[in-house]
Amino acid sequence: MFIDRAKIQVRGGHGGNGVTAFRREKFVPRGGPSGGDGGRGGDVWLEADQSLNTLLHLRYNPEHTAERGRHGEGANRSGREGEDTVVRVPLGTQVFDAETGDLFCDLSQDGMQWLAARGGRGGFGNSHFTTSTNRAPRYHQQGSAGEERELQLELKLLADVALVGFPNAGKSTLISTISAAKPKIADNPLTPLEPNLGVVDLGDFRTFVVADIPGLIEGAHKGAGLGDKFLRHVERTKLLLHLVDVSSAQGRDPVSDYEIINRELEAYDAELATRPQIVVATKIDALDEPERLNSLRRRAEEDGKPFHAISSATNEGVRELIRSVAAKLDEINAEVGSAQSLSQSSEITI
């Protein structure tokens, strides 16, 4: 089950209490206070783990508390510090304050950690309060409570390419053809009900990650269908593959479908309208009206977008599409790299 939202409660461990104690040793008159300090409570950390791809494990385990510190003991022995608790989350997890909605952090790199709740401070024992005028204090300090927070976690998938389009446009079939992903494929427009990730092997140790976004419909940015639930997974991708069914099976106009999906992307986030996009006509093996394909090709060319026609069932055009995607990603990565180099050089001052 794919879960991309979860609310959790995190609590730092309580600090241990100090202790009131006095030395009782033979041949040591007036031994004096010897109460040790309490140990510090453990912290709660969130850590990004690339082996995870869902927040399901947190949906049914929402409370995470670090170990409390041990109390101090006599003979000036301090209590042991509490163990930290590490909560693993998938890459791309954003952490928000559940009450205010403020963004705390974005865990986007493997091994990246964020301190979610700090442990409490240990209390001082009575030996800590000894002074020249108070040589036998008979009091100690209690440990302080650890921090407590309620956090809202939201997962945005990290992928290079996103497949977008109407339901039954052929997204699941394509990702199962070009990668090892095995999404549920059916004529039901409600499948799939969750995003799927696939890794495309280009050879020579080169790969890219593809995300199959569940089918969008008109009004998705307002909550129609499943669109608003999964549109945020498109935000982090570098390239969009816009799949359009050109067969007559769905009874819709390909150009109209293309325009509707683009309007939904722009309405959700204006920046998505400028994201690099390749238009892909699918199911050409079932094409019975060539004008449907030609009209979509002309519309894509008017927008200056690359166009490909494929059939995932027969693999026609799929290899050419993969080569085009790989070349486009190389171009995008080169532009990003040069922009970063320019930014770093502009920060150098003499």
Residue type, 70: R
CATH number of the domain where residue 249 is located: 3.40.50.300
Rounded average pLDDT over 327-331: 91
- What band does 343 get if pLDDT is binned at 50, 70 and 90? low
Q: Tell me: do 97 and 183 sit in the same domain.
A: no
Residues 6+ away with beta carbon under 8 Å from 63: 8, 9, 11
Rounded CA separation 295/43 (Å): 60
Mean pLDDT confidence for 118-129: 95
Let me know if residue 349 belongs to a domain.
Answer: no
Question: How many domains are contained in the chain?
Answer: 2
Helix (H, G, I), strand (E, B) or coil at 37: coil
Q: In the prediction, which pLDDT does 342 show?
A: 52
Give the CA radius of gyration of the chain.
Answer: 29
Whether residue 350 lies inside any domain: the answer is no
Q: Is 318 found in the same domain as 195?
A: yes
**Of 105, 128, 155, the domain-final residue:** 155
What's the mean pLDDT when you consider all of the chain?
85
The arithmetic mean of pLDDT across residues 206-210, rounded, is 84
**Domain around 76:** 1-155
pLDDT tens digit sequence for 65-83: 999 999 999 989 999 999 9
77 & 48 share domain: yes
Is the entire prediction scored with pTM above 0.75?
no
Q: DSSP for 59-77, please give it.
A: HT--EEEPPPPPPPBTTTB
On whether residue 278 sits in a domain, the answer given is: yes
- How many residues can be counted in the chain? 350
Grade residue 223 by pLDDT with cuts at 50, 70 and 90. Answer: very low
- Residue 54 pLDDT more than 70? yes
Q: Which of 155, 188, 207 is the last residue of a domain?
A: 155
Tell whether 60 and 170 lie within a shared domain. no
Predicted pLDDT at 120: 96
Position 211 in a domain? yes
Confidence at residue 259, expressed as pLDDT on a 0 to 100 scale: 92
Last residue of a domain, one of 155, 188, 223: 155
| 154 contacts 230 by C-beta, under 8 angstroms | no
pLDDT of residue 187: 55
pLDDT for the residue 23: 87
- Read off the pLDDT of residues 176-201 as tens digits, 9 standing for 90 and up: 898 876 765 555 555 555 677 788 88
- Find the range with the poorest average confidence among 34-38, 242-246, 251-255: 251-255
Same domain, 150 and 167: no
CATH classification at residue 128: 2.70.210.12
Q: Where does the pLDDT of residue 165 fall: very low under 50, low under 70, confident under 90, or very high at 90 and above?
A: confident
What is the per-residue pLDDT for 3? 66
Shared domain check, 190 and 138: no
Confidence band of 202 (pLDDT split at 50, 70, 90): confident
Rounded percentage of the chain residues whose pLDDT exceeds 90: 50
